[in-house]
Amino acid sequence: MKHLITAGFLVCLTVAFISGGVLAQAGEPIQADNNATYELPPLPFPLEALEPIISDDTLSFHYGKHHRGYVDNLNKLVAGTELAGLPLEEIIIQTAGKPDKAAIFNNAAQAWNHTFYWQCLTPGGSVIPAALEAKIQESFGSVEACKKELSAAAVSQFGSGWAWLVLDEGKLKVIKTANADTPLTKGMKPLLTIDVWEHAYYLDYQNRRQEHVNYIIDKLLNWEFAAANLEK
Ligand code: FE
């Protein structure tokens, strides 16, 4: 059995998958299958679509090597275990904080985080839908204050990690996570993220993380995706 890794928030796969020659419908429970393999989902845009902010070269490595590497590693690590065939979100929840499962957690979470991240970007960016804008104003005071907090989190994350806009107990918050860690393990609903691992920007910006982050916030964020996540 093969299925695509999706990054919807704590939902089962949103795509149909093939099981024993039968086309299962999206949202149906997934049976564990020790031969299951996860697949790298397609990028939601062409490799050159985010230029000049993110180059074709960066995206080729980031998606084609790094993201693919996490998916390939995950397949090797879960093959023949009780985790094979579970939805990716379930693997993340089950392995979080367990030292003997750290490699599986790291690769599963990085696979999920990257699939989510690509959907947070869109060529030219997007306007902020009204319902999300109202929620941002309620939580941060203004859209500018929210963007400033997101930028500060992304820039101040020491070493590798992620900056996130999340819904936590009814309120929007900005948080940062280290390495592969994800809000999914903290009971928070992720709305948007920015990857601040050096592989995300070093070819284009070298050490200028701040510049990269600000361009992403100003020019590439997909607020419609964030609004859709808020509604889930
Ligand atoms: Fe990355």
- Using alpha carbons, list the distances in angstroms from residue 128 to 5, 75, 106: 27, 37, 32
218 alpha carbon, distance to own chain's centre: 19
Report how far ligand 1's centroid is from the alpha carbon of 60 (Å).
12
CATH number at 208 reads: 3.55.40.20
pLDDT at 2: 43
Residue 223 CB-density burial (10 A; 0-12 exposed, 13-18 middle, 19+ buried): buried
Q: Ligand 1 centroid to 120 CA: how many Å?
A: 13
pLDDT, one tens digit for every residue, the chain (232 residues): 444 454 443 333 332 222 222 222 233 333 344 555 899 999 999 999 999 999 999 999 999 999 999 999 999 999 999 999 899 999 999 999 999 999 999 999 999 999 999 999 999 999 999 999 999 999 999 999 999 999 999 999 999 999 999 999 999 999 999 999 999 999 999 999 999 999 999 999 999 999 999 999 999 999 999 999 999 9
Ligand 1 mean position, distance from CA 179 (Å): 10
Task: Report how far residue 201's alpha carbon sits from residue 96's, in angstroms, rounded to the nearest whole number.
Answer: 27
**Residues 199, 109 share a domain:** no
Tell me the residue range of the domain where 63 lies. 2-40+53-119
Ligand 1 center from residue 158 Cα (angstroms): 15
197 and 172, same domain (yes or no): yes
pLDDT digits 0-9 by tens, 62-89: 999 999 999 999 999 999 999 998 999 9
Compute, in angstroms, the gap from residue 87 CA to the centroid of ligand 1: 21
Structural domain includes residue 46: no
Q: Are 79 and 34 in a shared domain?
A: yes
In DSSP terms, 165 is beta-bridged to: 174, 192
Q: What is the CATH number of the domain that holds 111?
A: 1.10.287.990
pLDDT of residue 36: 57
pLDDT in tens, 186-196: 999 999 999 99
- pLDDT for the residue numbered 35: 56
For residue 125, is it within any domain?
no
> Tokens 């050490």 appear where?
207
Could you tell me the distance, in angstroms and rounded to a whole number, from the CA of residue 50 to the centre of ligand 1? 15
| 3-state SS track over 33-78 | CCCCEEECCCCCCCCCCCCCCCCHHHHHHHHHHHHHHHHHHHHHHH
Q: How far away, in angstroms, is 3 Cα from ligand 1 center?
A: 22
How far, in Å, CA of 5 to CA of 202, rounded? 26
Cβ atoms within 10 Å, residue 41: 18
| Number of domains the chain contains | 2
Per-residue pLDDT, 37: 87
Q: Are residues 112 and 9 in the same domain?
A: yes
- State in Å: Cα 140 to ligand 1 middle: 27
CA of 98 to the centre of ligand 1 (A): 23
